[in-house]
Structure formats: structure tokens, C-alpha cells
Structure 1
Amino acid sequence: MTYFSRGKDIFSIYNIGMQLQLPQPSIEAQHASRLLHHLISADIRHNDGWISFARYMELVLYAPDLGYYTGGAAKLGKDGDFTTAPEITPLFGATLARLATELMSVAEAPLAAQMLEFGAGTGQLAFDILTELAGNGYAIEVFYIVELSAELRARQEQKLHNFPQVQWLSRLPDAFSGVVIGNEVLDAMPVELLVRGEQVWLQRGVGLGAPSDGFGELGASDQLDPFDQWPFSYVDRPADPSLIRQIPDAETLAVGYLTEVHPVAMGFMRSVAAMLSAGSGGAAVFLDYGFPASEYYLGQRDQGTLMCHYRHHAHPDPFYWPGLQDVTAHIDFTAMAVAAIDGGLDVLGYTCQAAFLLDAGLAELLLRTSPENPLEYLPKANAVQKLISPAEMGELFKVLVVGKGCMLPERFGRNDRCHKL
């Protein structure tokens, strides 16, 4: 049984762009998006007219040479689509470096002086961590970066050319001992969409809708009609029970309730657990926006958290210029913690980003610049405020720390929220 939801049609790109007054992509970018649209359309036809949303999200983000993270467009900073904490201030990386040295020294058995970062973006976070470690005389043996994007790896290589201990990997190592960092990594993993039907839960996938008969009345042109083929359309099918089980108290949610589940990120967490379990000990620190399950699946969050980012504009349409925008969802941190535990790790801590960074020493690092020197101090203080303010990143972003054979310093216990997972 298949249920069709014609929520997106050929007007989607035109309407979203006009409503938000989004910048028009270059002709080259439009061409790349057309190619990706053809690729995804072929995949849909090859799979009898339907692919899961996770498959669609995988293709728009990671299709070779055409996906958002595998193409050549700038992703981060003022010229990209969004800004991450390392781009705001080097004190973010310096704080994580300070924590890493503590973790490597207070473990049950001294950890290897190794670090590993997933999805290092421009390389700024690695640069700031390594700069802080070098300034403190801490010799890091190797700093691994697992990076799937050739374009981002090239930027990282340029940024980090003075740090010979950096090594790039295309996949997780089989075993690792040390400290793992994942800043805004989990939210870049494909999610499945589930919607509560009248009788059963449905899995929302992607098919090809019929062109609108009225499109010609708009005076179609290449600018207003980005794709000369049928548009993408949501298509619902009965959901696999394994996906439904990821939603706590699923049967209590109202008809029409739409949400995401995270099987890919959960699988990734189990892989991280296997990697650390095969080593002699270590900790993994994940910073991302999200909630524990008790907040993720609240009744009022009935349209989920899926969001797209294009040139610093946020909007809800994942079919807008495929490959040219980020598609993301908030993280269910309870699911991530359970996956880590299932893989043999301990949950060492969970809290909001503000509390975590302050407990890790962010304020002390800020005070290395004297407040009596306002020209230098105030810009740094303003940047720190963005990281810790509840109105900015401080509360929306959470931090989950999991590991084996080590623990967070005792002071982290005062703001711990593990009881909410």
C-alpha cells in the first residue's frame, strides 16, 4: 500500500526562493543541481518509483562530485550557508584542547596522545586545537581527520600544512585510543521521516510527482523552472517496525504527527563504540543541536525538526536546489547514548554547550586577554557570548561524552543532565 503526499510540486523552488528572497545560484551551480536531480530521479525510477528520505538525503548531501558536502561550493562562514562554533572564535578549539589534555591524563591507564576529528570542515577547529596544544607544550602524536569531502579536505590540507602530525582517513580506523571530537557531525547524517497515519505509522519517502498543469501560466523560464522533468514529491508507505521502535510511546502521538528517526547516526555511534572498544581506552565528545527523547517527541513538536540552510537562510523545503543547500535535523541524544551503550561504552556526561564549555575552562581562557584592553577583549567576549548565551548556541546545542576507561573531571558533574536522557 502506498500513500501519496503532494506537498511539494514544480512550484516549490520558485515559491520558496521568492518568499525568502534567496540569492539566485550561479549558472554553474544550477547546472550541477540539475545533474543531481537527474541522478536522484534515475535512482527513484530504478527503485520502483520510491526511495526512503534517508536515501534522498544521502544523495543530496554525499553523491560523488554533486552532493552538498562532496561538491565544490563553500559551506561554512560568511560566504557559505551557515557558521559553526570554530568559525566564531578560536577559544572554542582551545577549550576542547584543554579538555583533551585532561582526559588523556586522568584515564584509568594513560591514553595515547592521539586525537581524531570527524568532518573537520575548513580545518579551523583542528588548527585551533593543535595551536593550543603546541602553545602549552603538549606533544600530540597524531591527529586523524576522517573527511568524506574532497573539497573540504583540500581546504584542511592548506590550513593545517604546518602540523605534520595530521593524517587524513576516508573511514574510521578499526581501533583507536585517545580523544575523539565530533562537532556538528551527527546532524549531517541522513534521517528517516515517519508520520502517524490513521491506522499505522508511515515512512515518508520520495517519489516523482506529476508536473503542474498551471506552470505555463507563470511564464516558465530556466530561472523559474530549474528542472525540465517531473518534480520530487513526498510518498508515504507503511513504516518498518524497527523504525517505529525508535520513537518512545509512539502509539500515544496524534494522527498526523511527523518526526525523524536516526538509524544512520545510531549505526555510526555503534561504530565509534567498536573503534574505542578495540583500543586501550578513550572518549568521544559530540557537540550538536538536539534534545533528549523526552523533549524530542513532545506533542507540540508535531512537524519534526528537519531544516535546510542556504546562504544563511533557513527554510523547510528539502527539494529546493538539490545539492546546493544543507539538509539537517536535530539530534535525539537519548538514541545516541543508547547506541553507544549498546556498543559497550559508558556515558560520561551530557549537558548543554554553555555549561560544558564553562566547566571545560572557556572563561579562564577568555581572561588570558585582559578586560582592561577593550579593543581586544570585547570582540572575544562577544564571540564567547554567542557560544554560551541561551538565546544563541548555549542551550540549543548539547554535548554528549561517551567513552571507555576514562571519565570527565569531577567538576563536570555539577551541570550534568544524564538523568534526562
Structure 2
Amino acid sequence: MFKKLLLVVFIAAISCTKNDGFQPNGDVLSIIPLEKCENGFAGEYPCNDYDLLDYISLEEIGGIGTKGNDCWGWTDPLDNKEYALMGTNKGITFIDITNPTEVVILGTLATRTVNSSWRDVKVHNTVAYVVSEAADHGMQIFNLEKLRNVTNPPVVFESDYDYTGFGSAHNIVINKTKDYVYPVGTTRSGTYKGGPLFINIEDPANPIDEGGFINYSHDAQVVTYNGPDTEHQGKEILIGSNEVEVVIVDITDKSNPIKLSAISYSNVEYTHQGWFTEDFKYFILGDELDELRKGLNTRTIVFDFTDLDNPVHHFDYSGSSAAVDHNGYVKGNTYYLANYTAGVRMLDISNIENKTITEVGYFDTYPDNDMAAFNGVWNVYPYFPSGNIIVSDINSGFFVIRKSGS
């Protein structure tokens, strides 16, 4: 799609720490973006303050008939190299983005059973855990350390272990401070009716089923709580986005999960996914169907979770288009929203206490329109130490973007 003319210059890191630069050896990689955001566009893509560093089409990733879905990232603790995990209907593709203007497809871990539009992946330490709504898919467990030694990419990877204690799952959740994974949205006919499962992964090659919680969750976040509610500090708390409400559960004791509270909101259509602010005071939620069914502009719903036993609705933020919101994540004072046809929207939440959210940037990978439809961005991952951000687009493929001038 693009003709690349790149200038790559290595300069010594004088004022930066090791993790501030791109390179694992401590040097800074100074780059010219593939497409700089100028006059509202980066090439053909509408943008505001975010440049395009690199792009890979779906056909390059998986051939004809490939559709994008989830993405996640891994920073190798050994050398700080950065890797993207790009989900498609066919599997998970691993991409080295350490040099973000010359990304390299290392290889693909194919689906266990059949292709599926729904595939999700999370990372714990040096291991990736992959689930899908493909029938009988279970959970693929993949040692990411194998990415260090790929000499002739792309290669075909195999999982290190396949866990078959459940069939399909809509998503998988990980609390990075604990050795557990939590598949959600599994079959409703099972013991837990699609609620989160508790799987001990202290030994990734020997996952242990430790139960679950009976309450269907489409998505969830699990944290070791360190917020303002002193009664629950240090406990492991699950916040489930459960179709018609948000449910807060203490899962510290896996054999005895305790529902603390639940809250719904006006014009509920499909309670999809949410994320805590870093101080654990507010929870930011997206309803996936309210734009489509209610004719609303993108609506972001904010709850005050100061008291986990008594959550309250704080306020709603409305975006500038009718695009459907999908997944959102908090990093610092920025909420990164995968907004389907409107691309990725960057929202300043520094004044959220005073019921104010302000859009401060965007990168639109789907320039055709901003309609309420399920095209465009599925996910965004903003957690690489370098500042690189990866984006998975259902229709277009894989993007690496970065804040202009950073």
C-alpha cells in the first residue's frame, strides 16, 4: 500500500533511561514515520497527533480470507525487545516490532480446530494464553521465549500445551500479579453458565482447574486491589462486564468467590468491557450495542468504585460520531478506546473526578465512514515501554502507531 522510504539513525541515549528508547542495548532509535500525521491525515488515514510507523495487511499475515480480531503485546524481560501478538480468524501471528518501522512477521500459531472470527490472547510472564469461540478450541499455551530464536521467518509454530478443560471461550483474563488465568464467555450449559473459570497456571504446562463463578461474563478485569476502599485492599477483585450489568466479585478464595455488588445503567443494551483507572477509583465501561440500537454517539460510561460494595454511576461521555465502542484500556491519564469504524480514540481522563473527559488524539484505520457497524478497530494495546502502540483492524490488518513528536 505504501512506498517505504525510511531513514534509521542510531544515536546514544544521553538523557533517556534504557526503557525510554526502542533498542534493547540502551540506544535510541530515531525514526522517520512511515506516514506522519500532517493536516489531519497520515497517508490515507484520518489522524490527530498520532503517526503511522508501520502496517501489515491481512493478506500478508494470513493469506486470502483472513480477518483480524484481538491483539496483545509482550516485552521480553531478557532484552526489552517488543513483540505483537496479532489475532485473526486463523490463529495468532507473532510480529517483532522492536524496530517499529521495519516490523517482522516471525510466524503463526494456527487455530486448534476451525477458523473463528473470535480469538483472544493474553500474556502472563513469558507465556501466551489463547482462546477462541471455535468449537472445542480450549486454551493454547505458548512459550514466548521461542520468539528469540527464529532464524528464518516466517515459521509455523506449535503450542506447548493445549488445555481442554473447556471448549470455546469468548475471552481470557489475566491478573499479572497472580498465577491464574480466567476464561470468560464459555458455554452457558456448563457448571458456571459462562462465568469466569479459575485456572491455576503456576506451572503453565500443568494448568489446574480451581472452579469458577456462576454468572455469565462477556469480558472482565481482574486486579489485586489497591484502591480507596480499605476493606478490600490486597484482595483479588474481578469486575465482570456481564451483558446487562457490571458485577464486582472477591475471588481471593477461589473455593468461595463472594459477590460484593452489581450495577447497571440507563439505556443498557450490551455491557461489553471495562477498565479501572490506575488509582482504582473509577471504572470506565463500553456498551457495545447502544449506539446501534439507541442511535447514540459513542457512549463511554463511568462508575465511581470508591466503595466496591456500593458502586455508583458517575457520568457518561459522548464521542463525536456514531461509531460503536469495543475495547478500552487505561495507561496513565489516557484511555485508549478501540472504536470500530472511528479507529482508536485517545481520551484524556485526568479530570474524570470532575466529570470531564476530553479527546486528545486519534488514528482512524477505517477511513470509509464512522457509522455504527462492526468494521474497523477490534483492539488496541498501549502498554509497550517504548511508547509504540499496536492496533488490530478487522478489515485492514496490523498497525503500529505512536504519538507525534514522541
* TM-score interval, smaller chain: under 0.3
Point out the structure with the larger helix share: 1
Structure number with greater CO (CA < 8 Å, separation at least 6) is 1
Normalised to the residue count of structure 1, the TM-score between the two structures is 0.24
Larger radius of gyration: 1
Point out the structure with the larger strand share: 2
